[in-house]
Amino acid sequence: MIRKFSKYWRESASLLVLARTKPTSVNDYNYKVLVFKRPEKSSFMPNSIVFPGGAFDKQDDSPAWNGLLKDRGVSPEALANLSNVAGSRPHIFCTENPQELDRNLSLRLCALRETFEELGLLLVGDNGRGNSESAYSQFLTSFDIADWQRRIHDGEDSFVKLHSELGTVPDVFRLYEWSCWLTPVMFRKRRFATAFYLAVLNSQPEVYPEPHEVQEHWWDTPSALLEAHRREELWLAPPQAYELTRLSYVRDIDRIARFAVARNRLGSTLLCPVQYNAANGVLFVLPGDDLYPDDYDGISEHADLNRYADMSLEDIRKQAKRLNRTEHTDTHHQTYFLNLTSLDGHLHVKGNNQHLPEL
């Protein structure tokens, strides 16, 4: 498989897993989010707190999936409907070869596989049904999780073989497209285009951290994770901090589930932050901001990196009318500015959530 941008970055998929929990007070969250800490010796973003996920693998595109899904009664029409998206489609979602699995399927398989490899969480769907009346995923625990996790992680067996032997089907239909991030060009030696999906669970499952990839893991609320980041007790990678900030304004998991279902087909603008240095920090702009380069290809070096190096972040901001940016004063303290309608009908990073369903 030859991908258009393969020499510039790798492709990957991540999964935001939200599980229902009992709130401790009337106004508290009724869910927690699953995150884990990368090991210190990790080749990419060591020690960072991330969602489950990882690089696309050839097994995610295996023709064997066609046979398994057919045997489970999953209709071609239901699978084709995964690609029925009306909005923005970055190249990661585009299928280059009609003989390959549709990328909107294989990226979901990647997110599910990586979640199982890293944390032993297996999300399974309803055999023979492309849609379910429930927006919530189911997880399976009645098998030797640790053994299969090791075998798949070490390359002894495949994710498709696991489902084949268990008689299950991966829950691709209740993984909701959430966003798409591209590592900034300044990390040119290690860049990833990542499709983010979201899954909601009706209860919090036990997870089984893979010892080589997971140093610690947490189930916690968005606001608690963000506060721990600000207190420098942990470090959230920028996409994770952004997505948790979006979620932090919505405390009800049912509301998030309804929103995710409704937004699933609205597309995902590629979010590749472009950096500007300031006198008192660093500025990263996103599409729609006055300072975002026109028709940015995600590859070109940014020639204006130090254009505002002698100005403060506040003074740079005063010059702009359209804001979609993050201002960093250090690695643990950032402020989001977005005075536009959120892209792709998404949750607003400042909490102006006009797209949320009513309670």
pLDDT at 203 exceeding the cut of 90: yes
pTM of the predicted structure, to 2 decimals: 0.95
In percent, the amount of the chain with pLDDT more than 70 equals 95
What would the two tokens of residue 118 be? 């890293």
Domain of residue 100 covers 10-269
pLDDT tens readout for residues 265-312? 999 999 999 999 999 999 999 999 999 999 898 988 776 889 999 999
User: What span, in angstroms and rounded, lies between the C-alpha atoms of 52 and 112?
Assistant: 9
pLDDT of residue 342: 95
345 located within any domain: no
Whether residue 330 is found in the same domain as residue 181: no
Sign of CA dihedral 54, 57, 59, 60: positive
Average pLDDT rounded to a whole number, residues 29-36:
97
Say how far apart CA 263 and CA 265 lie, in whole Å. Answer: 6
Note the pLDDT of residue 323. Answer: 98
Return d(Cα 208, Cα 113) in angstroms, integer.
14
Q: Quote the CA–CA distance of 21 and 2 in Å, as a whole number.
A: 43
Q: Quick one: 125 and 60 in the same domain?
A: yes
The predicted-structure confidence for 84-137, as pLDDT tens digits, reads as follows: 999 999 999 999 888 889 999 999 999 999 999 999 999 999 865 555 679 999
Strands (E), the chain: 10-20, 31-37, 49-50, 53-55, 123-124, 138-139, 176-182, 192-201, 216-220, 270-271, 274-278, 281-285, 324-330, 333-338
Inside any domain, residue 359: no
Mark whether 256 and 279 lie in a shared domain.
Answer: no
Compute the distance between CA of residue 296 and CA of residue 300 in angstroms, rounded to an integer.
8
Residue 46 has pLDDT above 70, yes or no: no
pLDDT tens-place string over residues 250-266: 999 999 999 999 999 99
Intra-chain end-to-end CA distance of the chain, in Å = 45
Q: How many domains does the chain have?
A: 2
**SS3 annotation, 165-204:** HHCCCECHHHCEEEEEEECCHHHCCCCEEEEEEEEEECCC
Residue listed under structure tokens 């893991």: 217
Both 115 and 235 in one domain: the answer is: yes
pLDDT in tens, 228-240: 999 999 999 999 9
Q: What is the pLDDT of residue 39?
A: 73
Do 18 and 160 reside in the same domain of the chain? yes
1 confidence band (pLDDT: 50, 70, 90): very low
Both 236 and 319 in a single domain? no
> Average pLDDT of 302-330?
94
- pLDDT, tens digit (0-9, with 9 covering 90-100), for 147-176: 999 999 999 999 999 999 999 999 999 999
Confidence (pLDDT) at 97: 84
CATH of residue 164: 3.90.79.10
50 has pLDDT over 90:
yes
* CA 68/CA 190 separation, integer angstroms: 34
- Does residue 263 sit in the same domain as residue 277? no
The three-point CA angle 135-140-145 to 5° equals 145
d(CA 131, CA 82): 11
Mean pLDDT of the chain: 92
User: Would you say residue 347 lies in a domain?
Assistant: no
341 or 130, which is more confident? 341
- What is the identity of the amino acid at 63? P
Q: Sign of torsion, CA 269 272 277 283?
A: positive
Quote the CA–CA distance of 5 and 194 in Å, as a whole number.
13
As a whole number of angstroms, the distance between CA 109 and CA 111 comes to 5
